[in-house]
Structure 1
Amino acid sequence: PLFSAVSSSARQLHSLLKCIAFTNKVQVQISQDGLRFSTGESSVMEGHAFLDKKLFTAFKYQQPEEDNALTPIFEINLPALLETLQIFGASDTSTSSSSRFHSYNKPAISAFSASTLGLTSLCTLTYDNNGEPLTIMISEGNVETKCELTTYEPNQMEDIPFARDRLATKVIMRSEWLADAIAELAATNPERLTIEAGPGKVGFRLRASGPLGSAEIEFDEMTAKRESGAASFSHPNPSAAVPQATGASGVLETFQASIRSVNSYKFSMIRAATLAMKQAVKVSVRVDDQGVLSLQFMIEVEGGSGAEQHMSFVDFRFVPLVGDEDGEEQQNEEGGGGD
């Protein structure tokens, strides 16, 4: 086959892919480094989940010999993929009622879990060639289930442009704090979320207003670790080393805002990233000079051997709303947001 991979945890794959399950179709790209799953909505929102090859106990990709050969890209039905991965009852951690989200990283193991009963669980993915179905074989104990998912020609889906070298705002924080803030703002039933950031007293603020009222949450920038000397969160490529914690004790571990910026986004789209917020250890919130918002979540997962912890990344990008009173507003102010 062109590609094959084996995972010891279908639940783990299901958990990561459900973070971007806001559309019915997902685009899959196979490479030597792993699998990239992408979803998008009307060119104003997109989500990406990268499954590094280290998450699999075995990973084989036969790269085409032709010099101009493209890496395989196809589309599959995302709900069907998720149903297949949980065919043996993968736990849905989103049903937890806890107000804090530490439990999302490591779902509870029941008395009937495969690991408790001593059953071997394997998930095998196979893709024979372009145009062929994606085959998923899931085995648990002596029971095996084989599913073939039809692959489709991918639509032209280009990534939303994001200027990493022209950032107006960069914040790294514990993801649970962002999830709590979004949950509190959701109580007003808002249509939009406004993000304001800037040097000095401006700091980092989220606000929303709706039929049930308005609310604003201000994060304490004074406890943030400045960009100078802080460890970087974002990975320049999928195989990049996982960054180490900065060691900051405040809500914001890193804060960079050299100019004041105010941008608004559709609240319902931001809420689509809630599951990723709940599962992640940290989140990097970045806004470029055009107001495009990037939310990059760092999620702890088990490696292919199950012995060590690795980090997976789930990314979202959002295009700002324009033409309203809370639209993009940037003022070139000198400030101590970064060096």
Structure 2
Amino acid sequence: MSAIIETEDPVPIFNAVSTSVRQLYQLLNCIRFAPKVQIHISPEGIQFAVEEGRVMQATAFLDKALFTSFTYNPPTSDDNDTAEPPSFQVSLTALLETLQIFGASEASSRFSKPESDEYATSIRPHRITAFSNQTLGMAGVCRFSYLGVGEPFRVILEESGVTTTCNLNSYEPENADEIPFNKQELEVKIIMQAQFLYDAFLEIASMTATSATSSNRLKVVASPNSPFFSLSATGSLGSTTVEFSKSRDLLDTFSVGRNWTQYYKFEMVKAAVEAMKLASKVSFRGDSQGVLSLQFMIEVDGGGISFIDFRFVPFISGDEDDTESEEENYDDNGEEV
């Protein structure tokens, strides 16, 4: 008679549960400009990072407070010492599609307009009531789990008694260095409502449709004197400049020591538009090397706050001169002269 040996299931290095699938989807959707995302797990939370061509990077950090349950079991090395926190890559496209299985992108949440909820009221419109999705169990539950190196990143979704398990293949992390940003040598620091920056980009985008004659470059000017802060670009439909006054009604914080002018690829900076739509505030910073940092503060369910950071490398000095000459080749109507 043979004995039956029972083996215990391995303990995951990381396990987290969230009751707001749509919230996770919208935060990660802000950085979906790359096919893969690098995941870094730590006792404080989980970081998702993407990059493009070493000239554009974005990170979304989900603090453990955003989850109803967050468990981190540090991996150990062969000599029983605590190993480095796990880091790996997964397909960002597959992860976002997984989070949409139950229609997370259309579900009601605080990011939607109040009228999208049939039972919403004008008094504390986002409070939880007896008819809220959270109370009725309609918002769904999402569980992240990771066993260790070489194992898949597991996403388990539960809604209305239906459970779906998706195992996303994990890949070796890339040893990509962060775009250096010198906080000790800040040339520009501006804090404003993200809605104002979003409106400015919509205005610029409407006049800079991509074409063979479009410069496709965003010019950023900050100065201690008027016009203080401006964004401009030239495209096939014309040139557009949006200027911001120093008024406290527009800029919560304005710190510019000297004239600061830089050029960036417009399509890259435009990738931050989704974050602009969700955020309540944005910190616009530039260092002495021209690196641009956009840090978005996003209010999430339960009164929490999440941050999404973008960094952009400017065009080099020679390219700036080319940009100036390109802009001079267009008249006020955007026609080539």
* Fold similarity call, TM over 0.5: yes
Change (3 A) 1:108 1:327: farther
CA–CA distance in structure 1, aligned partners of residues 106 and 258 of structure 2: 42
Q: Does 1:320 align with 2:314?
A: yes
Whether the aligned pair in 1 keeps the contact of 2:227 and 2:244 (CA below 8 Å) is no
Equivalence map 1:29-108=2 (5 Å): 29-66=40-77, 67=81, 69-92=83-106, 108=116
Q: Does 1:203 align with 2:228?
A: yes
Query: What per-residue deviation string (whole Å, max 9, x for no partner) do you get for residues 252-275 of structure 1?
Result: 000010011100000000111100
% same residue: 48
CA–CA distance in structure 2, aligned partners of residues 171 and 105 of structure 1: 28
Query: What per-residue deviation string (whole Å, max 9, x for no partner) do you get for residues 40-86 of structure 1?
Result: 00000011000000000000011134546211000000011001111
Unaligned stretches of 5+ in structure 2? Answer: 1-11, 120-130, 209-213, 325-337
Amino acid at match of 2:303: Q
TM-score for both structures, normalised by structure 2: 0.81
2:33 to 22, 28, 36: 22
TM-score for both structures, normalised by structure 1: 0.80
Change (3 A) 1:120 1:312: closer
The corresponding residue for 2:256 is 257
Whether the aligned pair in 1 keeps the contact of 2:152 and 2:168 (CA below 8 Å) is yes
Amino acid at match of 1:86: Q
Deviation at 1:108, TM superposition (A): 3.7
Q: Which consecutive segments of 4 or more residues in structure 1 shift more than 6 A?
A: 110-113
CA–CA distance in structure 1, aligned partners of residues 147 and 250 of structure 2: 48
The corresponding residue for 2:8 is none
Amino acid at match of 2:241: E
Change (3 A) 1:200 1:149: same
Bigger mean CA offset, 106-115 vs 262-271? 106-115
Amino acid at match of 1:299: I
The corresponding residue for 1:175 is 194
CA–CA distance in structure 2, aligned partners of residues 283 and 36 of structure 1: 19
Between Structure 1 and Structure 2, whose CA radius of gyration is higher? 2
SS in structure 2 of the partner of residue 206 of structure 1: strand
Amino acid at match of 1:273: A
1:187 to 189, 199, 206: 206
Change (3 A) 1:120 1:79: closer
Query: What per-residue deviation string (whole Å, max 9, x for no partner) do you get for residues 216-238 of structure 1?
Result: 111011x14xxxxxxxxxxxxxx
SS in structure 2 of the partner of residue 179 of structure 1: helix
Change (3 A) 1:327 1:52: farther
Change (3 A) 1:3 1:107: farther
Deviation at 1:202, TM superposition (A): 4.2
Equivalence map 1:205-284=2 (5 Å): 205-221=230-246, 223-224=247-248, 250-284=249-283
2:166 to 115, 138, 147: 147
Whether the aligned pair in 2 keeps the contact of 1:104 and 1:279 (CA below 8 Å) is no
Deviation at 1:205, TM superposition (A): 0.9
Whether the aligned pair in 1 keeps the contact of 2:57 and 2:179 (CA below 8 Å) is yes
CA–CA distance in structure 2, aligned partners of residues 319 and 327 of structure 1: 17
Q: How many residues align?
A: 290
Deviation at 1:155, TM superposition (A): 1.5
CA–CA distance in structure 2, aligned partners of residues 279 and 108 of structure 1: 17
2:157 to 132, 135, 138: 138
CA–CA distance in structure 2, aligned partners of residues 120 and 208 of structure 1: 42
Change (3 A) 1:291 1:212: same
